[in-house]
Amino acid sequence: MIDLRSDTVTVPTDGMRQAMARADVGDDVYGEDPTVNRLQDMAAALLGKRAALFVPSGTMANQLAIRSQTQPGQEVIVESKSHVVRYEQGAAGALAGVQLHWIAGDRGLVTAEQVETAIRPKDPHSIPTALICLENTHNAGGGTIYPLSTIEKIRAAAVKHGIPMHLDGARLFNAVAATTLPAAAYAQHFETVSVCLSKGLGAPVGSLLISSDLQLIDRAKRFRRMYGGAMRQAGILAAAGIYALEHHAVRLKDDHEHAKRLARLLQAIPCVRLALQHVETNIVIFDVVDHRLTPPEIVAALKAQGVLVNAIGGQSFRAVTHLNVTGAQIDQAGAIVARVLT
Ligand SMILES: *Cc1c(COP(=O)(O)O)cnc(C)c1O
């Protein structure tokens, strides 16, 4: 099976499993797991920040960022197709008691003008804007990369209004691999950044919340405990994260080449619509137009031939390249999709 549904399907490599087996561990609730501490220090340094907190999921990292930087009854500016809006089960409302103010981006990317328009005036009637969240790369936008210049402009607007910024960087290292900019170049514009170790980086579990505000990290630690995310001998998992950052971050560019290769193969199929220039990282979004099969039938037909992709609404499909898909499998997948659709 060639599984292109998501980069979350990656499984630990042999080297990663060995690193996990060898990990020194302790009780992380006491702050005594040396491997967790090493991962946190390493991630903070990579992003040019002072501290990091290891958490079970990207959702928890985002939610701790929101909870730690807002009060109930405040508002958070988010892009309308962002993970925080679509895939976190309403946690911002349910757990932090904040209201989300959606603004629609172009393939997930918003402009400084849009953000500034969305910031509420400070008057007796308006809800206070407490936080601005961006997502880089943008998942539902198709793995799109925020130009640094756009982030700088949004940052200038945020600073002008005194509002902190959070980056959902679940796939920040994909942006880093694609642009060769250091992660810190992005991170410098945000009070908090979340990164996922379990997407293209290939760790089985784990995300980090990263910030230079030590009090904020302390608050987030308390909420992590409240949300059930405090772990004990988590060094086994952190070792996978360290291995991922040391060995797998550099190979994300292979996934990007594979995505372009797959996109070119798909583009050659008559009923497929796809903009090659929109394939910026490891996500390929394509439409199948005027086909006798419905999207669920297309997914099933591809599955029967050994290719897994996701239907994502309308005529659109998503294929994601990752660690466990080789170049040869990309060619194979392209041929199978062509056969099934033609
Ligand atoms: C995957 C993802 C997350 C985190 O997902 P979890 O399944 O909770 O780890 C957060 N943001 C984005 C953009 C993602 O793609």
154-212 tens-digit pLDDT: 999 999 999 999 999 999 999 999 999 999 999 999 999 999 999 999 999 999 999 99
Longest CA–CA separation in the chain, Å: 62
- Average pLDDT in the 3-11 region? 97
Q: Are 206 and 198 in contact (CB under 8 A)?
A: yes
Burial of 93 (0-12, 13-18, 19+ CB in 10 A): middle
Give the pLDDT mean for 260-284: 97
Q: Amino acid identity, residue 43?
A: A
Position 268 scores a pLDDT of 97
Q: What is the pLDDT of residue 304?
A: 98
What proportion of the chain, given as a percentage, has pLDDT over 90?
100
Do residues 55 and 67 make contact, with C-beta atoms less than 8 angstroms apart?
no
pLDDT of residue 306: 98
Smallest CA separation from ligand 1 atom 4, residue: 58
Of 59, 192, 318, the one to substitute when testing ligand 1's pocket (max ligand atoms within 8 A of C-beta) is 59
pLDDT at site 195: 98
pLDDT digits (tens, 9 = 90+) for 289-310: 999 999 999 999 999 999 999 9
Q: How confident is the model at residue 98 (pLDDT cuts 50, 70, 90)?
A: very high
The Cα–Cα gap between 317 and 314 comes to: 9
pLDDT at residue number 50? 98
Cβ atoms of 206 and 170 within 8 Å: the answer is: no
Element (H, E) at 196: strand 192-196
> Looking at residue 136, what is its pLDDT?
98
Q: What is the distance between the alpha carbons of residues 96 and 103, in angstroms, rounded to a whole number?
A: 20
pLDDT-derived band of residue 218, with 50, 70 and 90 as boundaries?
very high
Other CB atoms closer than 10 Å to residue 72's CB: what's the count? Answer: 11
Alpha carbon 301 to its chain centroid, in Å, reads 29
For residue 193, the model assigns a pLDDT of 99
Q: Structure pTM? A: 0.97
Q: How confident is the model at residue 14 (pLDDT cuts 50, 70, 90)?
A: very high
Q: Output the ligand 1 site: residues, CB below 6 A.
A: 57-59, 62, 83, 135, 139, 168, 170, 196, 199, 207
Quick count: other Cβ atoms within 10 Å of Cβ 122?
A: 10
| pLDDT tens, position by position, 16-44 | 999 999 999 999 999 999 999 999 999 99
Residue 271 has a pLDDT of 97
Best residue among 168, 193, 285 to mutate for probing ligand 1, ranked by most atoms within 8 Å of CB: 168
In this predicted structure, what is the pLDDT of residue 64? 98
Strand partners, 5: none
Q: Cα separations (Å) of 334 from 268, 269, 276, 318, 339?
A: 10, 9, 15, 13, 9
Looking at ligand 1, which atom is closest to the CA of residue 168?
11
Average pLDDT estimate for 5-16: 97
